[in-house]
């Protein structure tokens, strides 16, 4: 595998430098804060503040938030629950997280809409592609909930699908670390971060940045995936400006 590895704490610059429309994928665990379960309002407000900065800079932002802080369908299936039922329960958890994020964003002045792939008209809009695009054009942040609305697909795949449908310039994956490493940086102090990877690198070496189906969809639509730390204050804004530490996954070279 031929990749470019980070040798120092220098900043990356993405291919286009700035982005007009992006999808931010955040894990449900990011909303737990220091808790072991559920939603920590301080953590939600901190991430909402990062999104608000991007919106105020003129970037159109849509979000997908996982549900692992409340319920993980795959884990439940491994314990004997029927897989489709477990996945539907996981989708409902993402709706809860989306509503929490909507509340946080609107409390700081960011107009927001939640669209769910599973219709539940009393609490949010159904997913309608053209309506979602119109919301973004009107400077509203759209949170996509309930994944694809189908079992056996993860929120990574749901995020990739929505990024393609919305015509996003990039899919940003906010994680606990500042990019993709050749080993777990929490366990191996000598782990090296990659500045750039190709879609082929990720798939061929099973790097597990995202599901293979999600990476393949981004490759087919030529949408770069940018992996960065959502835990670092101001990092989202820097990444969008092309100056933040991250790993950029893009066209095969």
Q: Are residues 38 and 153 in the same domain?
A: yes
Is 36 found in the same domain as 11?
Answer: no
Are 60 and 147 found together in one domain? yes
In terms of domains, do 68 and 97 share one?
yes
* Cβ-contact 54, 20 below 8 angstroms: no
- pLDDT at residue number 208: 86
Domain that holds residue 126: 31-168
Going residue by residue through the chain, which has 253 residues, state the pLDDT in tens, using 9 for 90 and above: 444 444 333 344 333 447 999 999 999 999 999 999 999 999 999 999 999 999 999 999 999 999 999 998 878 888 999 999 999 999 999 999 999 999 999 999 999 999 999 999 999 999 999 999 999 999 999 999 999 999 999 999 999 999 999 999 999 999 989 999 988 888 898 899 999 999 999 999 889 899 999 999 999 999 999 999 999 899 999 999 999 999 999 986 5
User: Does residue 113 lie within any of the structural domains?
Assistant: yes
For residues 226 and 202, the answer to whether their CB atoms sit within 8 Å is: no
Q: Do 136 and 53 fall into the same domain? A: yes
Please answer whether residues 210 and 23 qualify as being in contact, where contact means their C-beta atoms are separated by less than 8 angstroms: no
Residue 107 lies in a domain: yes
- Are 103 and 157 in a shared domain? yes
- Domain limit, last residue, from 168, 201, 223: 168
With respect to residue 24, please indicate whether it lies within any of the assigned structural domains.
Answer: no
Q: Measured in whole angstroms, how far is the alpha carbon of residue 210 from the centre of its chain?
A: 10
CA 36 – CA 17 distance, rounded (Å): 37
Are the CB atoms for 25 and 171 separated by under 8 Å? Answer: yes
Report pLDDT for 224. Answer: 97
Q: Is residue 25 part of a domain?
A: no
Residues 118, 153 within the same domain: yes
Q: Does the residue 62 lie in any domain?
A: yes
Is residue 26 included in any domain, yes or no?
no
- Domain assignment present for residue 199? The answer is yes
Phi (first) and psi of residue 44, to 5 degrees:
-65, -45
Please give the span between the terminal C-alpha atoms of the chain, in angstroms, as a whole number: 11
Domain final residue pick, 118, 149, 168: 168
- C-alpha dist (Å) from residue 202 to 37, 140, 218, 235: 30, 33, 12, 23
Note whether 14 and 41 are same-domain residues.
Answer: no
* Structural domain count of the chain: 2
Which two three-digit tokens encode residue 177? 């670390």
CATH code: domain of residue 79: 3.40.1160.10
pLDDT of 186 = 85
Q: What is the pLDDT of residue 117?
A: 98
Domain presence at residue 145: yes
User: 144 and 214 share a domain?
Assistant: no
- In this structure, what token pair is assigned to residue 16? 């286009």
From the list 111, 60, 61, 70, the residue with the least C-alpha distance to 91 is 70
Q: How far apart are CA 47 and CA 95, in angstroms?
A: 17
- Final residue of a structural domain among 134, 168, 202: 168
């Amino acid at each position: 595998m031929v990749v470019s590895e980070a040798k120092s704490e220098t900043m990356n610059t993405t291919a286009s430098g700035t982005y007009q429309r992006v999808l931010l994928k955040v894990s449900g665990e990011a909303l737990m804060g220091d808790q072991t379960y559920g939603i920590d309002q301080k953590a939600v407000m901190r991430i909402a503040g990062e999104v608000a900065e991007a919106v105020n800079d003129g970037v159109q932002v849509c979000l997908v938030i996982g549900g692992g802080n409340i319920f993980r369908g795959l884990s439940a299936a491994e314990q004997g629950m029927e897989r489709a039922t477990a996945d539907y329960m996981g989708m409902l958890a993402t709706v809860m997280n989306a509503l929490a994020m909507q509340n946080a964003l609107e409390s700081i002045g960011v107009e927001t809409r939640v669209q769910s792939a599973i219709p539940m008209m009393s609490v949010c809009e159904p997913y309608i592609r053209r309506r979602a695009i119109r919301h973004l054009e009107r400077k509203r942040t759209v949170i996509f909930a309930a994944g694809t609305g189908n079992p056996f697909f993860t929120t990574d795949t749901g995020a990739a699908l929505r990024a393609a449908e919305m015509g996003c310039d990039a899919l940003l994956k906010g994680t606990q670390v500042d990019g993709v490493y050749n080993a777990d940086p929490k366990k191996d102090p000598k782990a090296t971060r990659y500045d750039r990877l190709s879609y082929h690198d990720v798939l061929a070496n099973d790097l597990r940045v995202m599901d293979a189906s999600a990476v393949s969809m981004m490759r087919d639509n030529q949408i770069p995936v940018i992996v960065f730390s959502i835990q670092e204050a101001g990092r989202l804004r820097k990444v969008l400006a092309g100056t933040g530490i991250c790993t950029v996954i893009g066209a095969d070279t």
